[in-house]
Amino acid sequence: MAERAAAPGARKGFSLPQVPKILVYGVGFVPAVWLFYQGINDRLGADPMRYLEQALGLWALRFLIATLAITPLRQLFAVNLLRYRRALGLLAFYYALLHLLTYLVLDQGLDLAAIGADIVKRPYITIGMATFVILVPLALTSTNAAIRRMGGQAWARLHRLVYVAAIGAVLHFILVVKSWPPEPLVYAAIVTGLLGYRLVHSLGRKAAPRRRPA
Amino acid sequence: MLIRRSSDILPSEITPRNVYLSRRQWMAGAAGLALAAALPEGLRAAPLSASKSSFSTDEKLTSREDVTSYNNYYEFGVDKSDPAENAGTLKTSPWTIKIDGLVGKPQEIGIEDLIKSSALEERIYRMRCVEGWSMVIPWVGFPLADLVKRVEPLGSAKYAAFETANRPSEMPGLRSIFPVLDWPYREGLRLDEAMHPLTILAVGLYGETLPNQNGAPIRLVVPWKYGFKGIKSITRISFVEKQPETAWNKQAPNEYGFYANVNPHVDHPRWSQATERRIGEGGLFVKRRPTLMFNGYAEQVAGLYSGMDLRKFY
């Protein structure tokens, strides 16, 4: 998945007007700023901490999904948004970090005993934590320098962990709700679709004679 | 200057205080009724007069705004704000409750008759949700025991089974292609729990009839149990011999027991029940408080469960 704009699919793609990447970060942080603004002004409803915690987690998942949508969009619809993928992935990480900080500080009040018990005893917390831990090395190796240092292939292999993170994120969501409400199931279906597409695509490639070394 | 002395007014001309007060009350009531008639169904809130109760807590009340906007009533959606937005479609008048099963006097009671014939009390209770948050709510209602006695349960009746209205046309949650629960919502109590003086049927809160999102026109309140036991918009109460099926227990038996007594020592399989967040306390910086055994009502109710393993009968 090493991304170079010179990839074959890129040029014939449907050309969208290019916007500066900084704008993606700018727009991406709007929900967080808005949430904190509303939270401080007591406009997040009766249970503001829980609202903030859930909303930040949901935005992390949405950005993770956006990151995973880049490749299928390019391969299936020739829409090339590759240059924004790093920004989207990092936004997913920053939202996951804010979500985690909200849990640690506002929800649990940094009660380490309670947090430790949660991590050990509650599968949804265990999975949530593990998902965050997976995202850390991906965020740390998101620079051009890291890609050069690691080499494209090793970097790409490491970054396939994002698939595991996506599965972890939806499981975490499903396990935290009562019964089977539609919203987490819809997100699970989207992630299944995005990962299933890759599986089918890679099986297809393996079946066909290779033209280029992998 | 002529100053009229008070003695010029004959005592017989003075309107007694209780008369003019009641006239004010009547006028306020009449104004309220006129206003209510102009409002769409579901937004009507009529004042209820109720006597105080020694069972009430003196803890700080959760605001009316929070009590009526943060609700779990899955018939109207799974988000906390959904019931306040959607429950207006529920037609709460006319409303009857069917009482059947093992009773000497099976009957259908209209809600107005039931309210008129009951001595309403204000009961300020803590409400602990199984999700880990709590409120303090000034309910208006009457002991369920009063109604139970009136219908004369037979000796063989061991449980009371409750049912919520089952109206897909008025309840969007019942039309969903992915039903969250096996509708209609059902709940149950052992007969001694139903007869306990703390157990009430609530018809109002904050001195007015219940808003739809809180379970209008009549709901169960069992303050030492998790909130989901407090079945809303009741249309049927059956007296039965065997422990009845209940909605959440049927959905996930390992997570939601029949008893569902608030218990900080028995965790939900997916989260701790040791602490809770009191809604309206601290906003974004809410501090968790320890959850109390039987939600702080242990003194009154612990005896109901003596000898029972509460880890097994959660």
Q: How far apart are CA B147 and CA B150, in angstroms?
A: 5
Q: Does residue B241 have a known ligand-binding role?
A: no
Instruction: Return the CATH superfamily for domain B45-249.
Output: Oxidoreductase, molybdopterin-binding domain (3.90.420.10)
Checking if the pLDDT of A27 tops 50, the result is: yes
Which of A12-16, A42-46, B69-73 is predicted least confidently?
A12-16
Q: Which residues of B touch A42 (CB under 8 A)?
A: 283-284
CA distances from A78 to A16, A194, A211, B277 (A): 11, 16, 21, 49
- Chain segment B178-224, per-residue pLDDT in tens: 899 999 999 999 999 999 999 999 999 999 999 999 999 999 999 99
Checking if the pLDDT of A151 tops 80, the result is: yes
Mutation choice for B interface testing from A172, A178, A186 by most B CBs within 10 A: A178
Which among B272, B280, B286 has the least Cβ separation from residue A118? Answer: B272
* DSSP code, position B39: S
Q: How far apart are CA B114 and CA B125, in angstroms?
A: 22
Q: How far apart are CA B157 and CA B159, in angstroms?
A: 6
Q: Which residues of A touch B127 (CB under 8 A)?
A: none
Q: How far apart are CA A35 and CA A24, in angstroms?
A: 18
Q: How far apart are CA B291 and CA B133, in angstroms?
A: 10
Checking if the pLDDT of B15 tops 50, the result is: yes
Residue A106 and residue B286: Cβ atoms within 8 Å? Answer: yes
Checking if the pLDDT of B18 tops 80, the result is: no
In this prediction, residue A13 carries a pLDDT of: 55
Contact A84, A26 (CB under 8 A): no
Contact B255, A122 (CB under 8 A): no
In this prediction, residue B81 carries a pLDDT of: 95
Residue A154, beta-bridge partner list:
none
Confidence band for A6, pLDDT divided at 50, 70 and 90 = very low
Which of B67, B185, B195 has the alpha carbon at shortest distance from B125? B67
Checking if the pLDDT of A7 tops 50, the result is: no
In this prediction, residue B178 carries a pLDDT of: 86
pLDDT > 70: percent of chain A = 89
Checking if the pLDDT of B25 tops 60, the result is: no
Residue B283 identity (one-letter amino acid): G
Which of B195, B193, B204 has the alpha carbon at shortest distance from B114? B204
Averaged pLDDT, A29-50: 94
